[in-house]
Structure 1
Amino acid sequence: MERRAFYRNGTLPWLLLAPQLLLVLVFFYWPTSQALYWAFTLEQAWGGGNTWVGFANFLAIFRDSQYWATVGRSAFYAICATGLSMAIALMLAMFVDRALKGTRIFQSVFVWPYAIAAPAAGVAFRFIFSPEAGLIGSINDIWPGIWSPATNGWHALGMVIVCHAWLGIGYNFIFFLAALQMIPKSISEAGAMDGARPFQRMLDLQLPLIAPTVFFLMIMNLISSFTDSFGLIDTMTEGGPIGATEVMVYNIYIDGFKGLDYSGAAAQSIVLMVLVIALTFVQFRWVEKRVHYS
């Protein structure tokens, strides 16, 4: 039987919803409406209001080869960070999903990185990967110039990808461990009795059964890679060297706040928002419906 809550006072539900509605309107819908306004208008050279230009701002960024290079860099960043983070989290979840002494400790320890703020992690990893100090410094003493994120764009991009993947391990680990613990132990035990090794049991038995979790985390990690990388990049590389770590979200900041191209930055933000909406649509409307077991 379906149960519903009824209020004799018609204004009480709206009063209870008012704080959340106010937050959503002020911090989501209002900025979105302003971004849409700026994306379809162009500010006059000496002020005095905006002029409606339609899709001219979008056409300008789509004709810019540097923008498409940023899109490709963002896609590479998202795929690498997502794959690395999910692979390590799955491996760790497999290790602790065993009735062994000490697994409870590791189940809590592996979650801790998720509680660290991105700028703080960026500062730490910038020091860890510094070519003048630590392990990397020792390697550079043996092979000078083998690691130089300040001058080599691939080194800098790889450094940021590793940091982003490390931050996401705790989040992915929680979901993977929960999914693995939902699998009946009798399935893994039957595979072990048939002679399947742990890695083979993971590929043939466990991984297919947690496929919905894998797809969910894949979409969520891709969205995070496209939208939550600003703090890391601004702390670690500031988009350098020579724009090698400028992804879509950071390019919006560069064009809008440093280049003062508000209309172009707004158009880029709308494109990024459409991309995130598309990924979310794929997650809820397509991926989950195509997970089948035979």
Structure 2
Amino acid sequence: MQPVFKRHGTAFLLLLPTLVILIFFLYLPTIQTFIMSLYQVGFLGLSKMFVGVENYQIIFTEPEYRDIMVNTLVFVLGSVSLSMALGLAFAVLANEKVTGARYYRLLLIWPYALPPAVAGVIFLFLFSAQVGIINYFLGLIFGITPDWLADPELAMTVVILSTVWKNVGYNVVFYLAALQNLPGDVLEAATIDGATGWQRFWRITFPLLSPMTFFLLIMNTIAAFFDVFAFIDLITKGGPSNGTTVFIYAIYRDGFEYFKSGLAAAQSVFLFLLVVVLTVLKFRLQKKVHYAN
């Protein structure tokens, strides 16, 4: 096969703009973040003192940051599991051949197109203790009007629900595409053999969806660490009592409100390494996830 460019210099010149952008806006900031995580940085970076791994020790030993780890774990487990379960359920229903199926699919997917800030504002008003429609119906039916944003557990529930509502369409799209590409003869054979709909789903459909499920599990988990900032900032501001503060919000708080740039950088590095581990895990294990047992 003949090369497109006879001279390597031509190819390099075409790649140069992209390389410049990557170097100055991705690689250099990443390296600077690693370096800054080893320093205690003063206000606006006016002073720096080398502290080694002290910032990392704070993350893993201080009670406040251990609580943040727990909050992050609760949020990731809750949002990812609920979003994937609902995404699969909605995709199965949307895959049925019914009149107006394309409109149902559109209604399931459109929340994903909304900006996170818009979704956050919607849920802020929905779960408002004074004017929220959720409390209106709860009071009408059950006679209770909980203050959702004043209780740490309820506030975390609101954040999880808002994230799930925003992201479930992403899972629907991928699950729906996978369902439409399943081998129909296998499902037909199971129906002829007398398998019920529930048996066909758990013994045939769900195992055949294992590659897509694994892919979505990794992608949803990575997204859960980073895409929640707008929801927390608009709905709870990390409260009450830091009950909804997760790592991505703590990075913003420490870096731009408390001006602890070194500590914020250490948390950024921790999240970066976590994503690297998940990415490596995806590439290592995806070969073991296959359609046929």
User: One fold, TM greater than 0.5?
Assistant: yes
Which residue identity is paired with 1:108? L
Q: Which of 94, 97, 102 pairs up with 2:95?
A: 97
Q: Paired residue for 1:235?
A: 234
Q: Paired residue for 1:169?
A: 168
Q: Distance in 2 between matches of 1:251 and 1:97?
A: 41
Q: Paired residue for 1:199?
A: 198
Q: Paired residue for 1:221?
A: 220
Q: Which of 10, 14, 24 pairs up with 2:12?
A: 14
Q: Which runs of 5+ in 1 are unaligned?
A: none
Q: Paired residue for 1:43?
A: 41
Q: Could you tell me how far 1:122 is from its partner in structure 2?
A: 0.1
Q: Pick closer, same or farther for the CA change 1:247–1:47 going to 2, 3 Å.
A: closer
* Contact 2:42–2:259 under 8 Å retained in 1: no
Q: Pick closer, same or farther for the CA change 1:237–1:195 going to 2, 3 Å.
A: same
* Contact 2:152–2:241 under 8 Å retained in 1: yes
1:269 to 2:284 alignment = no
Q: Could you tell me how far 1:63 is from its partner in structure 2?
A: 1.6
Q: Could you tell me how far 1:179 is from its partner in structure 2?
A: 0.9
Which residue identity is paired with 1:74? T
Which residue identity is paired with 1:224? A
Task: Classify the secondary structure of the residue corresponding to 2:212.
Answer: helix
Q: Which runs of 5+ in 2 are unaligned?
A: none
Query: Over the residues paired in the alignment, what is the CA RMSD in angstroms?
Result: 2.0
Task: Classify the secondary structure of the residue corresponding to 2:23.
Answer: helix
Q: Pick closer, same or farther for the CA change 1:179–1:58 going to 2, 3 Å.
A: same
Q: Distance in 1 between matches of 2:266 and 2:130?
A: 40
* Contact 2:159–2:232 under 8 Å retained in 1: yes
Q: Paired residue for 1:77?
A: 75
Which residue identity is paired with 1:229? V
* Contact 1:131–1:140 under 8 Å retained in 2: no
Q: Distance in 1 between matches of 2:173 and 2:115?
A: 18
Q: Pick closer, same or farther for the CA change 1:119–1:47 going to 2, 3 Å.
A: closer
Q: Could you tell me how far 1:59 is from its partner in structure 2?
A: 1.5
* Contact 2:41–2:260 under 8 Å retained in 1: no
Q: Paired residue for 2:105?
A: 107
Q: Distance in 1 between matches of 2:143 and 2:10?
A: 69
Task: Classify the secondary structure of the residue corresponding to 2:148.
Answer: coil
Q: Could you tell me how far 1:112 is from its partner in structure 2?
A: 1.0
Q: Distance in 2 between matches of 1:249 and 1:139?
A: 32
Q: Could you tell me how far 1:269 is from its partner in structure 2?
A: 0.9
Q: Distance in 2 between matches of 1:182 and 1:142?
A: 44
Q: Distance in 2 between matches of 1:4 and 1:228?
A: 44
Q: Distance in 2 between matches of 1:4 and 1:239?
A: 58
Q: Paired residue for 1:116?
A: 114
Q: Pick closer, same or farther for the CA change 1:131–1:220 going to 2, 3 Å.
A: same
Task: Classify the secondary structure of the residue corresponding to 1:183.
Answer: coil
Q: Paired residue for 2:66?
A: 68
Q: Pick closer, same or farther for the CA change 1:192–1:45 going to 2, 3 Å.
A: closer
Q: Distance in 2 between matches of 1:180 and 1:5?
A: 40
Task: Classify the secondary structure of the residue corresponding to 2:40.
Answer: strand
1:285 to 2:284 alignment = yes
Q: Distance in 1 between matches of 2:65 and 2:58?
A: 10
* Contact 2:225–2:248 under 8 Å retained in 1: yes
Q: Distance in 2 between matches of 1:42 and 1:135?
A: 45
Task: Classify the secondary structure of the residue corresponding to 2:130.
Answer: coil
Instruction: After superposition, give the CA deviation of every residue in 1:149-203 in whole Å (9 maximum; x if it has no partner).
Output: 2311111100010011111111111110111111111111222222222222111
Q: Could you tell me how far 1:214 is from its partner in structure 2?
A: 0.1
TM-score scaled to structure 2, two decimals?
0.92
